């Protein structure tokens, strides 16, 4: 019996560009948001990040087409919500943003699970997925806060400067990594539920990711022997 060769399914190259803009937005927006003249740059960076996220989605089953079609109303309502041009535009923008980011999480998971080799591109893609999960929960927190401002409290919210989404992305990353600084805390049962779910997913993601990467590496190494 001949040795069965595992077929390599490469990860989309669009993840490299997406990671670049994700890092710029996550680390740069907190410095820009407090200043009205620079906050527009933070908003533009998020829009560019969302735009390039489309190219990290595979074309199979028209996933990329669907993501691109949804992105247009997401960005339109997001910018309308910034200036609060129409009633409830901010609530709607966070709702659409949550839906879009949630779909990205699903699309990225379906793509990554097809990978059969541990490569630099795969590691970049998994990091993108992790950061997108953080943005997704940040949008959920911002949406809940927009509906009920009493859902969250803390020093950062009492002295909020700039875009609240930037603040909740920070809170999301802290919750995802289970750091829990305490500068923002949930105040309602719904808010605590969201925080619990994200903390569990953060721990589960790390444990499963390490096991999956090690398993793929060992399997690929054995297939070459």
- At 4, the pLDDT band (50, 70, 90 cuts) reads very low
Q: How far is CA 16 from CA 128, 201, 214, in A?
A: 9, 24, 22
pLDDT, average across residues 91-115: 91
Mean of all residue pLDDT scores within the chain: 87
Q: Work out the average pLDDT over 3-31.
A: 79
Bridge partner residues of 152 (DSSP): 186
97 has pLDDT over 80: yes
pLDDT attached to residue 113: 81
pLDDT band at 224 (very low <50, low <70, confident <90, very high): low
Instruction: Indicate whether 2 pLDDT > 60.
Output: no
Place of tokens 């949008």: 139
Residue 200 structure tokens: 């569990």
Phi, psi dihedral angles at 210 (to 5 degrees): -60, -45
pLDDT at 218 over 70: no
User: What is the pLDDT averaged over residues 85-114?
Assistant: 90
Nearest to 173 by CA among 151, 188, 193, 195: 195
> Tell me, what's the pLDDT at 3?
41
- Which pLDDT score is estimated for 58? 84
Ordered structural domains, the chain, with CATH: 14-224 (1.10.287.70)
Alpha helices in the chain (DSSP H): 14-32, 36-53, 63-82, 89-112, 120-147, 155-158, 164-176, 189-224
């Amino acid at each position: 019996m001949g040795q069965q060769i595992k077929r390599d399914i490469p990860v989309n190259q669009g993840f490299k560009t997406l990671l670049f803009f994700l890092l710029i937005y996550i680390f740069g927006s907190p410095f820009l948001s407090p200043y009205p003249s620079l906050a527009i740059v933070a908003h533009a960076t998020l829009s560019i990040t969302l735009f390039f996220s489309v190219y990290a989605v595979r074309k199979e089953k028209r996933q990329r087409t669907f993501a691109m079609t949804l992105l247009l109303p997401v960005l339109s309502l997001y910018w309308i919500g910034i200036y609060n041009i129409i009633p409830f535009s901010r609530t709607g923008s966070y709702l659409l943003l949550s839906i879009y980011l949630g779909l990205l999480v699903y699309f990225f998971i379906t793509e990554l699970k097809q990978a059969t080799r541990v490569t630099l591109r795969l590691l970049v893609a998994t990091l993108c997925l992790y950061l997108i999960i953080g943005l997704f929960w940040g949008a959920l927190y911002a949406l809940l806060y927009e509906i009920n401002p009493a859902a969250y409290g803390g020093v950062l919210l009492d002295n909020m400067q700039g875009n609240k989404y930037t603040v909740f992305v920070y809170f999301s990353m802290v919750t995802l990594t289970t750091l829990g600084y305490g500068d923002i805390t949930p105040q309602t049962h719904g808010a605590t539920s969201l925080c619990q779910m994200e903390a569990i997913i953060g721990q589960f993601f790390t444990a499963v990711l390490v096991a999956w990467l090690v398993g793929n590496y060992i399997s690929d190494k054995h297939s070459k022997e």
